[in-house]
Amino acid sequence: MPWNASDIPSQSGKTAIVTGGNSGIGLIAARELARHGAAVTIACRDTGKGDAAVEKIRADLGAAGTGAEVFVGKLDLASLDSVREFAEGFRANHAGGFDLLINNAGVMAPPRKTTADGFELQFGTNHLGHFALTGLLFDLLAEKPGSRVVTVSSNAHKPGKINFDDLQSEQRYFRWKAYAQSKLANLVFSNELERRILVSGLDMKAVAAHPGYAKTNLSTAGNSLGGDGIGGIFSTISGPFLKFGENLIGQDAEHGALPTLYAATVEGLAGGSYVGPDGIGEFRGHPVIVQGTGASQKLETGERLWQASDDPTGVTFPAILKSGMANAAG
């Protein structure tokens, strides 16, 4: 039988963070984790929307929702100050560690904008913000045996290339190229994190997932970030095409969230696994193990991206996490 949300094992006693858990697949993931007993923190920019998401989760869960432990924390991944503030606040209430971090939030194909720290918005939000968050909370994850980091990538990583000579797309900006780069960076980061976990002998794992072509507000959110000229025209043109694609080959958020939930909860899942839909082109279907591109698995790319993320964010992972290149040398 195909795997679905009813197959999630008990999450009682576990604590999870879901970035972008106020909408789309993040909301579904937060709801299902709470349904199965986890204490879930929805980390999002707009705490008002986060509070509304909590109410929706409680309503969806019915009688079981009254006892659900679902919380909201303010997190803007486009601001390293916000990432640090969230991490400090979470740390103050979870000194004993926590079990699951789902790096889910993101933006897709907006006109070129920069984060509060001057990074290109997609690379800064989708990758650097999550890199920093994971690093700032890593020691808390390492305290819990069997903990996981799930990073949500995309089918869009497949044509992606990481341009180390212009990571911030300052020389030339193509929104979809920049998006593909950011989603490839998500997968490269997840694979490199798993290599380092293995070398370090830690009882935890890093895995990744992608939702296929899910009908969420991600494309709308990206286009709503504004822009004029070519950017505004592109938003007007691309919106109908994206909607057409969603209706033709896409799947709803309920099904789009399944790969993330599979990656987050299936017992015995190998570290380094990448989970996506089993349908043609991985656009839709039930969650299975899929393959990322060769570019996502290169040791040198993983090491180089790590350094290119460590330096600008100013976030250094704890010393207990050793370089993945040490394993390659062996």
pLDDT digits (tens, 9 = 90+) for 42-66: 999 999 999 999 999 999 999 877 7
For 200, residues 6+ apart whose C-beta sits below 8 A from its C-beta are: 320, 321, 322
Mean pLDDT of the chain: 91
Range 85-89, long-range pairs (CB < 8 A, 24+ positions): 86/43, 86/133, 87/133, 87/136, 87/137
Residues forming the active site: 179
The Cβ-side half-sphere exposure at 220, using a 13 Å CA radius, reads 8
Count of domains observed in the chain? 1
Query: 4-8, 118-122, 131-135, 216-220: which range is least confident on average?
Result: 216-220
SS3 category, 63: helix
Could you tell me if residue 192 is inside a domain?
yes
Residue 36 lies in a domain: yes
Query: pTM of the full predicted structure?
Result: 0.92
pLDDT digit string, tens, across residues 62-95: 987 778 999 999 999 999 999 999 999 999 999 9
**Residue 228 reports pLDDT greater than 50:** no
Q: Please say whether the beta carbons of 211 and 25 come within 8 A.
A: yes
Q: Does 233 map to a domain?
A: no
Residue 237 lies in a domain: no
pLDDT value for 328: 52
Contact 114, 167 (CB under 8 A): no
**pLDDT beyond 90 at 3:** yes
Question: Residue 112 sits in a domain of what CATH number?
Answer: 3.40.50.720
> What is the pLDDT at residue 249?
73
Each residue's pLDDT tens digit, 174-201: 999 999 999 999 999 999 999 999 999 9
Q: Which of 60, 26, 65 is nearest to 43 (CA)?
A: 26
* pLDDT band, residue 223 (cuts 50/70/90): very low
Average pLDDT (309-324) is: 94
Residue 319 falls inside a structural domain: no
Q: Convert the pLDDT of each residue in 256-299 to its tens digit.
A: 999 999 999 999 999 999 999 999 999 999 999 999 999 999 99
Host domain of residue 284: 13-212+255-313
Please report whether residue 95 resides in a domain.
yes
- Whole-angstrom Cα distance, residue 63 to residue 243? 35
CA angle 68, 141, 194 (to 5 degrees): 120
Higher pLDDT, 157 or 242: 157
pLDDT at 237: 42
Question: Is 300 among the domain residues?
Answer: yes
Q: What is the pLDDT of residue 66?
A: 74
Average pLDDT for residues 244-254, to the nearest whole number? 74
Among 131-145, 218-232, 302-316, the minimum mean pLDDT is found in 218-232
Residue 245 lies in a domain: no
